Structure formats: C-alpha cells, structure tokens
Amino acid sequence: MSVLQAHDITKVFREGRETVSVLNGASLQVERGEVVTLEGPSGSGKTTFLSILGCILTPTSGRVVVDGNEVDPRRADRLPEIRRRSIGFVFQQFNLFPALTALENVEYALNIKGKRGREARTEAERVLQSVGLGDRLGFLPRDLSGGQKQRIAIARALAGDPAVVLADEPTANLDSQVGTQVLGMFRDLAKRENRALVIVTHDPKVRSIADRVIQIQDGRIAA
C-alpha cells in the first residue's frame, strides 16, 4: 500500500459571499523511498494540495491516507497527531529559531514529537551528522550559510522518523551550486531511509532528483 494517498481531493475557500475552488479532484499516490515533484503555475493549487497532504488543511471532499491513517475532515483535532507521528516539513524560509543552536533547533522538533532529554539529543546529533553538520551542532543560524541552514531544516524534518517528508520550494533561497548539492543529499537520504518525499517547486533543477514529475493545472493532476 502507498504510504501517502490522496483521492479526488477538492478544496473550496469562502471569501465573503464568494467561493473559490482551488482543487478539483486531485489524486496522488506516493510509495516509500519515492521522490515526487509537484509543479504548476502560480494559482494552480499545488501549495494547497501540499498543505492537505501534510494535514495542515482538510479537504472539502476526498480522502487522504498518511502512513495507514485516514484523515477525517470532521476530526481536525487529530491532524496535529498525524503530523507529529508521520510527516516532516521543509520550508523555503528555513523557519529556524534564531536563538537556538543547530542541535537545539532539531531537539525542539523532537520535543514536540514527545522525545526529550538524552533520547532527543542523541537523535538530533544523528540526523545532523547525516546531513553533514556534525561539526556545526553548537552554531547559531546567524553563523551558518544558507545551505547549512537548509540542511538543518532537512534534519529537523527527518527527526522522529516520519514516513513522509514534504518540501515547499526547498531551493528557493539557495544559489544554484548549493541548491544542487542540497538536492542530491536530500534524494540520497530519502532513498537510504526509505521515506516518501514530495517537493513543490518552480526550480527545474529539482527534476534531476525526481522519480516522477507531476503537473498540476487548475486544481487537477494533469494526465
């Protein structure tokens, strides 16, 4: 069974008396260890779709199943639990805490997932070493390059062993050379650790690491 499934997803937003249909029957299935990019023009619905896959938003209709757990739109209170247990996120702005070291940023993510103390610190060290930052554990974000900050963000997403990792424009704030290096590392980690990786992007370089390139247009997955 696919580790991430979305079936006939619709999403309608209300703006005053008006309704805006953003997704119109989008479907996707992703396997463990698979790298998928989701591309489309601005306004196509790809970021909304990623948010629904990541249990940040609930669909207006349709089914989402994450690592065997079906998302019930009527039970929004369960979404944080599913996110903590099964999903890691990488954002284009890094979203690091400036007053926390690299190690503490990852530890904090693990604390949210229920891991604390020595267990959290040991795992935080492990994932930072896996992204090549074993010698930067005590550094604050201000003392790190953009590529190093994104590696911390990736380590944070991997912490807690999520089955699914979702990334929103992960190379947007990186130069071309650093972006290529980060992408190669990202793919290697997904394959080695058998995680599903879905990346929303406008960056054509991201295609080089994808097993599948999915186009979304007008709220639908293009055939």
Vertex 83: Cα angle to 80 and 86 (nearest 5): 145
CATH superfamily of 4-95+162-221: P-loop containing nucleotide triphosphate hydrolases (3.40.50.300)
Cβ(114)–Cβ(84) under 8 Å? yes
Long-range contacts of 149-154 (CB under 8 A, 24+ apart): 149/94, 149/96, 150/90, 150/94, 150/174, 150/182, 151/182, 151/185, 152/94, 152/96, 152/102, 152/105, 152/106, 152/128, 153/90, 153/91, 153/94, 153/95, 153/96, 154/90, 154/182, 154/185, 154/186, 154/189
Q: 75 versus 66: which is more confidently predicted? A: 66
Q: Is the pLDDT of residue 183 over 80?
A: yes
Rg (CA), the chain: 17
Binning pLDDT at 50, 70 and 90, where does residue 175 land? confident
> Which pLDDT tens digit goes with each residue over 186-204?
899 899 999 999 999 988 8
- In the prediction, which pLDDT does 5 show? 96
The answer, yes or no, to whether residue 223 has pLDDT greater than 70, is no
pLDDT in tens, 106-116: 999 999 888 99
Distance between CA atoms of residues 149 and 142, nearest Å:
9
Q: How far is CA 57 from CA 51, 87, 191, in A?
A: 6, 14, 27
